[in-house]
Structure 1
Amino acid sequence: MTFYTYTYLKGGQTDWRLIKIVIIVALALAFLFFLVMYARRKWDRKFKDLAIILGTLLLLAAAIQYSDFTNLRTASVQSGQLTVVIEKSAAKLDVDPRTISINDTSRNNDMIIKTPKGYYTLVFNSSGSEFLLEKADLYKPDITVIGE
């Protein structure tokens, strides 16, 4: 069973965002360079072909970046909901939120949290606005904690 720490959920998983932006900027600059070279030398078709190839790659990279951005925004909202749940659980159990791990990255019913005081099941009400903490005993738990 995989658990995710409070710090992992709070920090987000956006390590590659800067690299993707650098790649898109480099493609855009190369695309503009080949367009300028084609405008200077009208009869040299290799610059036109390279500009078309780089323009296609630039559109593809921008589409992938937009898709990743919308996925990141959705994941950020879900992680934000989970961090609130962890903070409320920590307040109810009187522990530090950074010592709590949760077994899912999206909120659902019957989630399990790992605290220094043991394992607890989170059972949400029908509207999802409140939850019940119930002590749980895991039989032979195979635990992996991500974010420690």
Structure 2
Amino acid sequence: MTFYTYGYLTNHHSNWQYLRIALIIALLAVFIGLFITYLRHSWNVKYKDMSIITGTLLLLVLGFQINSLVSLRSATEQTSEITGIVKNVAKQLDVQPSKLAVNATTTNNNLLIKAPSGYYRLAYNADGSAYVVERVQLQRPKVTIVKE
């Protein structure tokens, strides 16, 4: 069973976003350079073909980036929900949130919290608006903790 620390939940950001932005800027610079070269040497068709290929790659990478940003936004919203729950449980258990770990990065019905005093399960009501924290005993837990 994998548990994620509070630090992991709050600081887990994708560094691939910066690499993709750098790739978009590089492709845009190459595209502009090839297009300007084509305009100067309009008799040479290879610059036109290369600028079309680069423009197509640029649009493809832009599409991936937009899709990734939408996914990142959704994941950030879900992570903010789970960190809020961890803060509330920490307040109820009278411990710091950094000492807790949770078994999921999104909210679900089978949420387990690992605290220094033991394991706790969150039992949600029917509409999911409230929960009860109850202590549980795990039989032979194989716990892996993912830290930041």
- Shared fold, TM over 0.5: yes
Counterpart of 2:75 in structure 1 is 75
Secondary structure of 2:52's counterpart equals: helix
1:110 lines up with 2:113 in the alignment: no
RMSD of the alignment, in Å? 1.0
Unaligned runs of 5+ in 1: none
Secondary structure of 1:126's counterpart equals: coil
Counterpart of 2:2 in structure 1 is 2
Secondary structure of 1:142's counterpart equals: coil
Once residues 98 and 17 of structure 1 are traced to their aligned partners in structure 2, the CA distance between those partners, rounded to angstroms, is 27
Counterpart of 2:15 in structure 1 is 15
Secondary structure of 1:49's counterpart equals: helix
Counterpart of 1:144 in structure 2 is 144
What is the one-letter code of the residue matched to 1:26? Answer: A
Which range moved further: 108-117 or 8-17? 8-17
Unaligned runs of 5+ in 2: none
Counterpart of 2:47 in structure 1 is 47
Once residues 127 and 85 of structure 2 are traced to their aligned partners in structure 1, the CA distance between those partners, rounded to angstroms, is 14
What is the one-letter code of the residue matched to 2:62? Answer: A
Once residues 142 and 13 of structure 2 are traced to their aligned partners in structure 1, the CA distance between those partners, rounded to angstroms, is 24
What TM-score does the superposition give when structure 2 sets the normalisation length? 0.96
Count of aligned positions:
148
State the 1:128 CA deviation: 2.3
- Name segments (4+ residues, structure 1) moved above 2 Å: 126-129
Once residues 38 and 93 of structure 2 are traced to their aligned partners in structure 1, the CA distance between those partners, rounded to angstroms, is 68
State the 1:131 CA deviation: 1.1
What TM-score does the superposition give when structure 1 sets the normalisation length? 0.96
State the 1:127 CA deviation: 2.9
